[in-house]
Structure 1
Amino acid sequence: MPKRSEVMSGAEIIDRGFAKKFLRAADAPLDYGVYLLFHDWWAEAPQKAIDSYSRELASIPEAAPLLASRYISEPLSLERLAECAPGTLGHAYRRFILDNKLEQNLGRNYRRFNEELTSSGKLDRLPPDLSYMMVRGFQIHDFLHVLTGYEADNWGELALAAFYLAQLRFPYHAMRVAVTTAHMAFVRPGLIVDAMDAFVDGWSYGRSARNLNFERWEDELDTPLDQLRARMNLNREKFAV
C-alpha cells in the first residue's frame, strides 16, 4: 500500500491538460478512443509511473525471451489460413477474421507500423520494451479473441481488456478500464452491471490462464485449438451477458 503522505500530499500528479482529454474520452469513448488517449498520456506522464510500468513488464517471467527477440511476424494471408484444417487455430482465426470483416488487420505490416510510430515521435518517452509490446499486442489481439472465446463486440472487448490487464498490466488496458468505469459512473449508469460483469470475467479468466502475450501464435496455426486452450489453461465455459 502507498504511504498516506504519497496519496494525500495535495500535489497535482496527473497533468491537467491530459485530464481534459481523459474526460473527453469518458464523455464518449467511441468518439475519442483509448488509442488516442494512450499517446496523449505519454507526453506528460509522471516518470515514476513510466518506470513502474517498465518494472511490471520486466517482472513477468514469460516476457524475457520475446522482449529479447523483438519478434514481429510477417503479414498472414487468407490463403495461408485456408490451408489450416478444421479445428486448428488457423482455421478458427480465419473464420474470426472473415466474420468480423478484419481482413485489413490480417494484412497489416506491423514491422513497418512500428517503424512509423517510432519515427513520428509519438513514442519518444515510451521505453523500448513497452513500445515493442504495444505493437506486438496489436498484432496478436485477434488471436487472443480466438483463444479466449471473447467475441469482437462491446462486451467481448471489455472482457478482453480486463484479461489483458490481468496478464500484462499495460497502461493501454488500464486506461480502457478507467475510461469505461468513468463513463458508466458519470454518464451511463445503465452500463454498470454488464460492463462490470465483463471486466470481472476477463480479470478472473486472465488471472487463471497462462500468459498469452508472449507466445508466437503465428507458429501454431496448424495446432488444434483445443490443444492450445488446454496448454494455456483456457478451457472454460464461454462468457456471455
Structure 2
Amino acid sequence: MATERLEAAAGPGAGELPPLPPYAAWAPAELQATLADIDAPAQGPHSLRYFNTAVTKPSPGLPALVSVGYVDGELIDRYDSETQHWKHYLENSCIEGLRRYVEHGRAALVRAERPMVRVSAKESHGFVTLSCRAHGFYPRPISISWLKKGRVQAQETKRGSVTPNGDGTYHAWASIEGLPAEKHEYQCCMEHASLPEPGLFSWEPPSSLLPIVLGAVIAVVVVIVVWKSRWGRKEQGYVIAKGSNAAI
C-alpha cells in the first residue's frame, strides 16, 4: 500500500495562491469557490490538503484508489475507484441493459388476449344462479360485474380470484343469484385491456339438439332402406351366362 500526502497553504501576504496539485484539476465547483474565498487577508492562513491512498491488490469491494481533499481540515472532495465504477455502470451499462430487456420484452408488454366468455344458469330451491366465466385472457387485470336492468349489482355479485392457466393466460368468474323469471334481466359486464369497450353478455337458453339428431338418424335410415331395395332388385334380375356351369 502506498500513501501520498499533498499540501497547499495560503495566508495573508502570500500574494497569489500556490498552484493546485494535479490531482485537484477535477475539483468540483464548490472547491473552486472555496479557494477563491481564502485569499482574503483578514481571514488568516488556510490549508488545502489532498491525501491519496492506492492499494496494489485490493480485496473485492475495496477500491484500488481513494483520494480525499480538505480545506482547513474540512472534507471538500472525495474520489474512489469503486464508486466511480458503479457510477459508470448505473449511468451507462445499466441503462443499455434495461433498454435491451425492454426491447426483447416488448411483445409481452403489448400482448393482449381477449377473454372467452361463457354465461350459464343453474336453478335450485326456487332461485337461479347465473355464472359469468372468462377464460384465456391476458394481461391479468380484469373487471367482471353483473347488471340488472342496466344497474350494477355490486353487493349481490360474488367473485372468484383471478388464477393463471398453464399457457400464461388467466381465468376468472363472477356469479349472482336471482329469481328464475328475472334471469333475462341480468347481463354480465366485462372490462379488459383487450376489449375496445366493456362487453355485455347475457344468458341464452341452450339450443336443443334432439330435432337435429332425429333428423340425421331418419335420413340415414332412409338411405339404407333405399340402397337395400335397389340391391335386392339387381339380385332378382341375375341371369346365368350361356356356357357356364350352373351346378357347383
Larger radius of gyration: 2
Structure with higher helix content: 1
Q: In which range does the TM-score fall when normalised by the shorter chain?
A: under 0.3
Name the TM-score, length of structure 2 as normaliser. Answer: 0.16
Structure with higher strand content: 2
